[in-house]
Amino acid sequence: MNAPAAENVIEVRNLRNQFGAQVVHDHLDLDVRRGEIMGVVGGSGSGKSVLLRSIIGLNRPAAGSVKLLGVEMTTASDAQRAQIEQRCGVLFQNGALFSSLSVADNVMVPMREHFRMPAALMQRFADLKIALAGLPTNAGAKYPSELSGGMVKRAALARAIALDPDILFLDEPTAGLDPIGAAAFDQLILTLRESLGLTVFLITHDLDTLYTICDRVAVLSQKRVLVCDTLDKVERYDDPWVQEYFQGPRGRSAECAAHKAQSAHAIAPGGA
Amino acid sequence: MQAAATAQLERNGNGVAASGDWTLAAAPRIAALIAQLRASLPAQARVDARGIGRLDTAGARLLLDLAGDDRIDGLDANRRALLDAVAKVDLAPEPAPPRDNSLVALLARTGAAVEQIGRDALQLVGFIGLVLATLARCVPDPRRWRPTSLAFHLEQTGLDAVPIVVLLNFLVGAVVAFLGATVLKDFGATIYTVELIGYSFLREFGVLLTAILIAGRSGSAFTAQIGSMKSREEIDAIRTLGLDPVEVLVMPRLLALLIAMPLLTVLAMLAGIVGGGVVAALSMDISPTLFVTRLHDLGATKHFWVGISKAPLFAFLIACIGCLEGFKVSGSAESVGTHTTSSVVQSIFVAILVDALAAIFYMEINV
């Protein structure tokens, strides 16, 4: 396989998803470029999670094509799919940590299954991922039921980046976190993107997350991607739902906060 | 993806030169190379990383094993950032807690298990008391009977269990008849098969087999239902709404089982006797008329009452254990599984234990 010539690591074309008579997506197109953080927003029930599940292959679309890292996933052989899946990390909404395994064992599952490696070395890499995800070292020995909501998300993130994926899929990563935890998580994603060169596909309801870390935003509405562009262009898009979403009281205050943070950053550029 | 280049590490004057792909897949090989080289490397040796093809966090970690962050040359800005990120967070590995495999640990665990059994028994007795008190409060007040819930559980635990209870008892009845025929033939007493079937099914098998089936079928369902509600905080929600979880959740299930179990037991006894009767008629030439006549002579009614008297008791115990185990669930889905298993094991154990005690009791009072 050659390096994908196109800049797009995710290419969705004409995607159609339906459950019985209910059509969730119709003629949906979406491109995600290498190295960017793409935020996906949409009302409840607009099919954000279904889109994510279709892209990572958990949900077989009724029609259309999904290309991941240059490979057409709907027609790929099992071996090809497995290879691509290894290069994707997924953070599910509720973490989806294996409850019978400790956090370190959770992180080691993909390493153990895909590579032959001495246990001590694997433990070191697991500790590294756990630390990269911003958890204290002693968290590795804990079980998911002993963790708080924010720690579960971080542990799940540690598992998602266990194999150094090219693409990271995040399903509402900051939902249920307090504002401080959510802001820290946003920064963590930003840091990981910078240092590991990740492409991030991010579903969120959190306007602060959109304003602080997303390079581009895709709005899911009317069964397709209504608009997909940088935030300031999306904000100005002429659609009642988009206008209400970004110009509502919450949207405006998040925008305000983001501008404030940016100007503070401009005054003291040595901060980061 | 380019073809994978094998990771290499070569001496280069005072330092080392790294090349190839430094990724997770190659990690064991790289770790071995580093272990070989490190002893002979001067303390301030520099690493030339120009030749490295692909580099991920695992590779970065291993590079840092070789030399400090500031002694690695030939990295572009992206890789420098990766290396910095890894160097910044990596902490000294925590020593694994020592494992205690001594005899003392074995004794301690045995002791803890025994203590747990005692605590469980005490908890069960306490819960039974609580249920009885709630029952006494609810039964006189028809507004608290929750007919919808009761009907639902009657269908689930009673009606839906009929096929399996009847089939199983029919088969066991046939097997007992065959056993009886084989053993009694040597004495020329095959006719006593009728007594064997009647006696065993009316007094013991009918009710005991039903209890075991219901423990596996409904006791486990009670635990799983209440347990998953507990893990989703629904029980807490019931409390905060000013309702009593025992009244809302346990009473309908208990009453349903108290009604269903005797009815199922009657069916079980009939099915067992019919199963035995069919075998008797087909392979021993004991006509159904003769079979029924002999059953009457046996004093079947008395034995029927002995058997059926145990049904409500078993029903009560199975419902209490099933519901209590459900309330004991904590947090995870795994806990629901553990407690469901425990619920079935306990209910079957208690049913057989109580049955044995009842057998002794009825023998002593000559019924």
A230: buried, middle or exposed (CB in 10 Å: 19+, 13-18, 0-12)?
exposed
Q: Domains, chain B, ranges and CATH?
A: 8-89 (3.30.750.24), 118-364 (no CATH)
C-beta atoms of B91 and A131 within 8 A: yes
Find which of A164, A189, A191 to mutate to test the B interface (most B CBs within 10 Å of its CB). A164
Whether B62 contacts B49, CB under 8 Å: no
ipTM for the predicted complex: 0.72
C-beta atoms of A191 and B94 within 8 A: no
State the pLDDT at residue B178.
92
Q: Which amino acid appears at position B84 of this protein?
A: D
pLDDT in tens, B172-220: 999 999 998 888 888 888 888 999 999 899 999 999 999 999 999 999 9
State the pLDDT at residue B59.
85
- Closest by alpha carbon to A257, among A220, A219, A217, A206? A206
pLDDT in tens, B213-242: 999 999 999 999 999 999 888 999 988 888
Whether B255 contacts B154, CB under 8 Å: no
**CA B88/CA A146 separation, integer angstroms:** 27
Q: Could you read off the pLDDT tens digit of each residue along chain B, which spans 367 residues? A: 445 678 787 877 777 888 888 888 888 888 888 888 877 777 777 888 888 888 888 888 888 887 777 788 878 877 887 888 788 776 665 566 666 778 888 999 999 999 999 999 999 999 999 999 999 998 888 888 888 999 999 999 999 999 999 999 999 999 999 998 888 888 888 888 999 999 899 999 999 999 999 999 999 999 999 999 998 889 999 888 888 899 999 999 999 999 999 999 999 999 999 999 999 999 888 899 999 998 888 888 889 999 999 999 999 999 999 999 999 998 777 789 999 999 999 999 999 999 999 999 998 988 7
C-beta atoms of A164 and B58 within 8 A: yes
**CA B193/CA B177 separation, integer angstroms:** 6
C-beta atoms of A128 and B90 within 8 A: yes
List A residues 21-80 in contact with B (Cβ-Cβ < 8 A): none
Q: Which of B2, B78, B93 sits opposite A197 (nearest CB)?
A: B78
Name residue, tokens 């029980």.
Answer: B235
Q: What is the mean pLDDT of chain B?
A: 88
A90 strand-pairing partners: A169
Check CB contact of A184 with chain B, cutoff 8 Å.
Answer: no
Check CB contact of B366 with chain A, cutoff 8 Å.
Answer: no
Check CB contact of A111 with chain B, cutoff 8 Å.
Answer: yes
Q: Which amino acid appears at position A125 of this protein?
A: F
Taking CB atoms and an 8 Å cutoff, what residues of chain A touch B24?
111, 115, 125, 163-164
State the pLDDT at residue A256.
76
Check CB contact of B81 with chain A, cutoff 8 Å.
Answer: yes
Element (H, E) at B109: helix B103-138
**Residue A270: pLDDT above 60?**
no
Taking CB atoms and an 8 Å cutoff, what residues of chain A touch B97?
141
The DSSP line for B344-367 is HHHHHHHHHHHHHHHHHHHHHTT-
**CA A185/CA A153 separation, integer angstroms:** 9
Taking CB atoms and an 8 Å cutoff, what residues of chain B touch A197?
78, 82
Check CB contact of B241 with chain A, cutoff 8 Å.
Answer: no
Q: What share of chain B is helix, strand, coil (3-state, %, to 5)?
A: 75, 5, 20
Q: Is B60 helix (H, G, I), strand (E, B) or coil?
A: helix
Q: Phi then psi for A143, rounded to 5 degrees?
A: -100, 155
Q: Which of B28, B78, B85 sits opposite A117 (nearest CB)?
A: B28
Q: What share of chain A is helix, strand, coil (3-state, %, to 5)?
A: 45, 25, 30
Whether A13 contacts A65, CB under 8 Å: yes
